[in-house]
């Protein structure tokens, strides 16, 4: 009888040990995989970047005032990605991005329109990435040239600039990034998780609109990407050059028809 109890005790001990060991491994994997690590700068795939600053313990406010801009290039944004530097307590975070650089664009002066998205948030809404959901930057008839997340007390919104470059007909398509759950190994959602959902337009396209979407606690970016109509740009450029040339010819012709101008020319030649 004692021997049976002894065998039963050994079997139970082994079972408890295996169960405990299994729990420890799962817990360890969960901590290691769910820890809010953040991807570093990728200079090969993204040519430009904003400054880095602390994530403020996962707060979406840490993205404020980071200006993503192709304004100096007179271009449009083709994609962006949250990146950073891992820290012991809090990560540093920034945004890297690409611009569509086009020589035709640089030869023209196009109208830029400032845009402000809706404001979202209150004292009870928290500061997780979910606060960004459905705050849309949409240029509709042009392309996004610049955007910056701004904070107004407990509310956030986007300041943006749109450039009215012509959109190629039939080139636009709504795209989606991959989906992720922003929950980190603690109990709150972390802005560092946004590094897993880059926004990248297909080759040759630029962004017309984008917004963060939340479905069943999973988040992803939905964005509209289109091609710039280079043929129309060439036409605009040619017409612009013709206008300048015609104006110059008229000015020369007017001076040649002016007797005073002719007399001044003769005097200059004489002396």
226 and 168 Cβ atoms separated by less than 8 Å: yes
What's the burial of 151, exposed, middle or buried (CB within 10 Å: 0-12/13-18/19+)? middle
C-alpha 142/C-alpha 172 separation (Å) is 12
Q: What are phi and psi of 185, to 5 degrees?
A: -75, -10
Residue 267: pLDDT over 70: no
Q: Who has greater pLDDT, 126 or 11?
A: 126
Residue 255: pLDDT over 60: no
pLDDT score at 28:
35
> Average pLDDT, stretch 248-261?
54
Q: Who has greater pLDDT, 269 or 177?
A: 177
Q: Is the dihedral of CA 231, 233, 238, 243 positive or negative?
A: positive
pLDDT score at 62:
94
Residue 187: pLDDT over 80: no
What ranges make up the beta strands (E) of the chain? 48-49, 53-54, 68-69, 76-85, 92-100, 112-116, 137-138, 143-152, 155-163, 173-176, 199-200, 205-215, 218-227
Q: Who has greater pLDDT, 92 or 185?
A: 92
Lowest-pLDDT choice from 28-32, 50-54, 199-203, 252-256:
28-32
Integer angstrom CA distances of residue 186 from 57, 85, 174, 193, 264: 11, 19, 34, 13, 84
> Average pLDDT, stretch 154-159?
95
3-state helix, strand, coil in the chain (%, to 5): 35, 30, 35
| Percent of the chain surpassing pLDDT 70 | 69
224 and 213 Cβ atoms separated by less than 8 Å: no
Mean pLDDT of the chain: 79
Kindly indicate the confidence band of residue 104, based on its pLDDT and cuts at 50, 70 and 90: confident
> Average pLDDT, stretch 234-241?
67
Residue 118: pLDDT over 50: yes
C-alpha 117/C-alpha 138 separation (Å) is 8
> Average pLDDT, stretch 41-61?
91
> Average pLDDT, stretch 179-201?
83
pLDDT score at 20:
47
19: which residues sit within 8 A by CB, 6+ positions away? none
Kindly indicate the confidence band of residue 249, based on its pLDDT and cuts at 50, 70 and 90: very low
Kindly indicate the confidence band of residue 238, based on its pLDDT and cuts at 50, 70 and 90: low
Integer angstrom CA distances of residue 14 from 3, 50, 55, 125, 134: 17, 55, 45, 48, 52
pLDDT score at 56:
78
Kindly indicate the confidence band of residue 125, based on its pLDDT and cuts at 50, 70 and 90: confident
- 241, two tokens: 């050059």
- 94, two tokens: 């920034």
C-alpha 47/C-alpha 88 separation (Å) is 28
> Average pLDDT, stretch 226-250?
67
- 249, two tokens: 């010819």
C-alpha 260/C-alpha 244 separation (Å) is 25
pLDDT score at 32:
35
């Amino acid at each position: 009888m004692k021997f049976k109890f002894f065998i039963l005790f050994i079997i139970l001990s082994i079972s408890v040990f295996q169960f405990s060991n299994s729990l420890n491994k799962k817990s360890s994997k969960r901590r290691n995989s769910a820890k809010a690590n953040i991807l570093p700068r990728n200079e090969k795939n993204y040519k430009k970047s904003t400054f880095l600053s602390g994530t403020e313990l996962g707060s979406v406010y840490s993205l404020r005032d980071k200006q993503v801009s192709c304004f100096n290039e007179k271009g449009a944004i083709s994609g962006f990605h949250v990146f950073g530097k891992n820290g012991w307590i809090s990560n540093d975070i920034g945004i890297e991005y690409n611009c569509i650089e086009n020589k035709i664009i640089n030869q023209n002066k196009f109208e830029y329109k400032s845009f402000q998205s809706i404001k979202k948030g209150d004292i009870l809404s928290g500061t997780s990435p979910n606060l960004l959901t459905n705050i849309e930057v949409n240029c509709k008839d042009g392309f996004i040239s610049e955007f910056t997340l701004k904070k107004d007390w407990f509310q956030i919104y986007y300041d943006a600039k749109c450039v009215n470059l012509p959109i190629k007909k039939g080139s636009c398509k709504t795209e989606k990034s991959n989906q992720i759950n922003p929950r980190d190994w603690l109990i709150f959602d972390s802005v560092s998780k946004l590094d897993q959902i880059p926004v990248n337009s297909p080759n040759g396209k630029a962004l017309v609109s984008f917004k963060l979407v939340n479905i069943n606690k999973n988040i992803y970016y939905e964005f509209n990407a289109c091609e710039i109509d280079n043929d129309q740009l060439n036409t605009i450029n040619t017409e612009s050059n013709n206008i300048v040339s015609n104006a110059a010819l008229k000015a020369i012709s007017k001076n040649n028809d002016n007797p005073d101008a002719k007399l001044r020319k003769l005097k200059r030649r004489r002396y």
